[in-house]
A and B are shown apart, each in its own frame.
Chain A
Amino acid sequence: MAGEQKTYYTIDPEGRLKCCKCGVPLVKANAVFGYLDNAFPVELPVCPVCGFVYVPEELAMGKVLSVEKVLEDK
């Protein structure tokens, strides 16, 4: 569809997520999802200090789940 966003997840607005342990806002960073020996590079909110990667619920129960299901039938 025209105009459809291709990114899986956008941090919008930035700075609304904070790492409790380090007390700093999460920033957009490169991460890799892996499943059954497949890897998918994505951009996710990550703590710049401790590296905590946040996977939001909508993403986990949406796109991630559907990709898992597809891979399971490969």
Chain B
Amino acid sequence: MDFTERSTRVYRTKQLFTKEELAAREGLCVHEEPPFCSAACPLKLDVREFVRLCAAGDFTAARAMLERITPFARVLAAGCSAPCAAACRLNEVGEGIDIAALERAAMRYGAPKSGRGMLRFRKKKRAAVLGAELFTLSAAAEFAQKSYPTEFYVPQADAADLVRACAPFLSEEDCAAEAARLKAMDLKVHYGAQITRELYESCRQSADILCLSRGAAKALEPAAEPDEVTLLCEALGALVRPAGEEDVLTALTDARRAGVSADRIAQGMDPATLRGEEGAVTSRLYTDLSGVAPSRRKTAGHALPTAEEAQSEAARCVQCSCTECLKACPYLRHYAKSPRLLTREIYNNAGIIMGDHMMNKALNSCALCGQCSVVCPNGFDMAEICRRARENMVDTGKMSLAVHEFALYDQIFSNTEALLARSQPGFERSEWVFFPGCQAGAVAPEAVERAYSDLCGRLPGGVGIFLGCCGAVAKWSGRTELWEETRALLANELAKLGDPVVIAACPTCAGVLKEAGIPKVRGLWEVLLEIGLPDTAPQEGARVTLHDACGARGDHALQQAVRKILHGLGCEVTESELSGDKTPCCGYGGLVSCANPKMAKEFAQSIAQSAQGLPVVSYCMACRDRIAREGVKSLHLLELLYGADAGSPPGLSEKRRNRLKLKERLLKEKWGEDLAKRPLGFGLTLTEEARALMEERMILDTDVIAVMQHYHDTGEAVEDLDGGLLVTRMRLGNVTFWAKFTEDAQGYTVHRVYSHRMTVETR
């Protein structure tokens, strides 16, 4: 199969999800849910942030937060029943944060707001408030803050009297401070007023918004009750607090409700419309408390703790938030976004017709390993979203070949040039077929060969060999056409072998083959457990860290089989923190190493770092390879079992050569066939520098050979008289490869290589 490069002049888009599908996915992520304390606060104080500010010792900012949510913050601080403290998750492992004490500390130690605030223009609609209680006091202040010219009629003689009557629990100092605050408000208070029916009637005529104390309302209309949400009492045409005790928090919340109703009334709307979310809510947030040690309150039961006590009390807060996926996945950590946000951005990315697709790299950097779906309390699956987004891009012609081309041609190489599907010599059909996977042949061909010989000798009915790719590359890159082609190829080749049971050495291959509809697929490790370990298996064992393959996620039988085998080899296995189903990807999955090599390195590094200095044993050859690149001793279970350590990880070209050599060796040794090789017509040496550049720039030695062959045939090159090097080039597929070389009697020595995808022509 060949791939054609896309054009940026094709403006096709396809919606990635329907609205409902998107909402269902986004709804799973609870990262943006409010913490339990904030959810419990009817005044909607961001308690988590408030406590954080207290912990940082910034009581002034903390105080400003309280003053923003209510006109009389000292009243709140003194009388708050703190439902947030009851909702604090620390209560489950010790004592919850004493948030009420922190409120008082913030009001005491924080500096008052300076400056005059914004210039406000008074509104035309007028408000009148009758009677003194905490609800009316606070409501009058709310109306004044909303710039309604407000008249407040109270029987008390002055501001201090009024505040004392409304909040008798306040200290003298607080009382004086709140009285001063009341005086500073743009609010006309009529002290010594008698709340009579005449006053009520005249206010009803003159004011657009009317608010009564419950006492006043009962005196006027004993049977009238307000609506619980809007607080509007139809019979009186006034806002009145509902029945029940006048708790401080309730009164302040009701005053805020009255403020919302006032706005609706002033706009001539039904006060019940568009009120938004009011009062306390339930949070779906998940917080992992497993690592939290129980602790006790530092406030020592003081109503007003010292600043130091308050600060250390606040410092106990664990700042509840759900970051389970971010903690586990290097990809999500790298983008530092919740899956919810990332999903929305990827969804929007698919809808862009012209312009920059900012999320292309992000959606191609997910390892598609499914770890998030296991660590997330709600099973958020980023892999499904990124895979569908890739398929969408391929469908609409938005996926550039550059992203996955190397891997795609690698799969095609595996399934053409390096493909070998044969029955065991002496057998027409096979009961079994060994499917080591492309990476096993590329990284540890010796171990594959020994394993195959072992299986041939011990399994009855003939064991065929299948060297090839399962199609994971096609799936991961979103190339459905190639995936279908691969499925057909697999089915066809297996049919020729007599539809044997596939023994897959790679857990990813096993999964992908099952997805491809291959009916009989078994893991190599389970088969080996059944027939017993090979005689050659070493017994001395060692201390090792086991890294589970992401392809084995959810396959507990496989995970257990591997552990049993390691136990049988006498190994002392240390489990890493994220083992079993929670295992991370090594960076090979999802073709990250192709689309974003830096990101892939972060994946491998995170595994290497958790190895605790021990050799890492894995049962996926891609893991083995990528972990070894991080400078950690890394072994595949096949290498351990068959005593065939493959040594340091091979380069890109060597991986291809290894696969070809394995095929050649097997053909020669098992079937006595020789593959005729055409020798090069010239000598070729690659310097260390050239080899390093080839790895970095993903250039294969076959590419360099083709370039030099072209030069050999045509003599086309440029001589750089400064550097003394010859430079030649050749276009192979979608890439132009360049080689800088010298020529002598032995042939060519290539010093540097580079490539570009752009075409270049003269005008």
Contact = CB atoms under 8 A, between A and B. Distances in A.
A33 B757 CA distance: 10
A34 B740 CA distance: 23
Contact of B760 (A16, A18, A37, A44): A44
Nearest to A65: B756
Q: Which of B400, B722, B758, B763 has the most CB of A within 10 A?
A: B758
Contact of A21 (B9, B714, B763): B714
A57 B738 contact: yes
Contacts of B9: 37
Interface in A17-74: 17-21, 26, 29-38, 41, 44-47, 50-55, 57, 60-61, 64-65, 67-68, 70-74
Contacts of A20: 715-719, 726
A74 B355 contact: yes
Contact of B738 (A26, A29, A60): A60
A51 B714 CA distance: 14
Interface string B696-717: 0100000000000000001111
A51 B762 contact: yes
Interface string B120-146: 000000000000000000000000000
A55 B8 CA distance: 24
The dominant DSSP class at the A interface is mixed
A21 B697 CA distance: 28
Nearest to B349: A73
B727 interface: yes
A37 B7 contact: yes
A34 to B, nearest CB: 4
A72 B397 CA distance: 11
Contact of A35 (B356, B403, B719, B757): B757
B758 A68 contact: yes
Contact of B721 (A18, A21, A38, A73): A18
Contacts of A50: 716
Interface in B710-763: 714-722, 726-727, 729, 736, 738, 740, 752, 754-763
Nearest to A68: B757
Q: Determine the interface band of chain B, counting residues with CB < 8 A from chain A.
A: 35 or more
Contacts of B360: 72-73
Contacts of B670: none
A57 B725 CA distance: 12
Given A26-B718, A72-B403, A41 B762 contact: no
Interface residues of A, number: 40
Contact of B754 (A18, A30, A46, A57): A57
A17 B722 CA distance: 8
B715 A31 contact: no
B752 A57 contact: yes
A32 B759 CA distance: 8
B563 interface: no
B629 interface: no
B8 A36 contact: yes
Contacts of A54: 718, 727
A45 B750 CA distance: 22
Contact of A60 (B714, B722, B755): B755
A55 B361 CA distance: 27
A61 to B, nearest CB: 6
Contacts of A60: 738, 754-756
B12 interface: no
B750 to A, nearest CB: 13
Given A54-B727, A55-B729, A41 B754 contact: no
Given A16-B722, A20-B716, A38-B8, A55 B761 contact: no
B93 interface: no
A21 B715 contact: yes
A34 B731 CA distance: 13
Contacts of A35: 757-759
Contacts of A37: 7-9
B716 A52 contact: yes
A15 to B, nearest CB: 8
A26 B465 CA distance: 55
Q: Which of B7, B360, B752, B760 has the most CB of A within 10 A?
A: B760
Contact of A57 (B356, B714, B740): B740
A68 B7 contact: no
Contacts of A65: 756
A73 to B, nearest CB: 5
A73 B361 contact: yes
A10 to B, nearest CB: 14
B357 interface: yes
Contacts of A67: 758
Contact of B758 (A17, A57, A64, A74): A64
Interface of B: 5-9, 354-358, 360-361, 400, 402-403, 697, 714-722, 726-727, 729, 736, 738, 740, 752, 754-763
8 contacts: A16-B722, A30-B763, A36-B8, A41-B763, A61-B754, A64-B758, A70-B356, A74-B356
Interface of A: 16-21, 26, 29-38, 41, 44-47, 50-55, 57, 60-61, 64-65, 67-68, 70-74
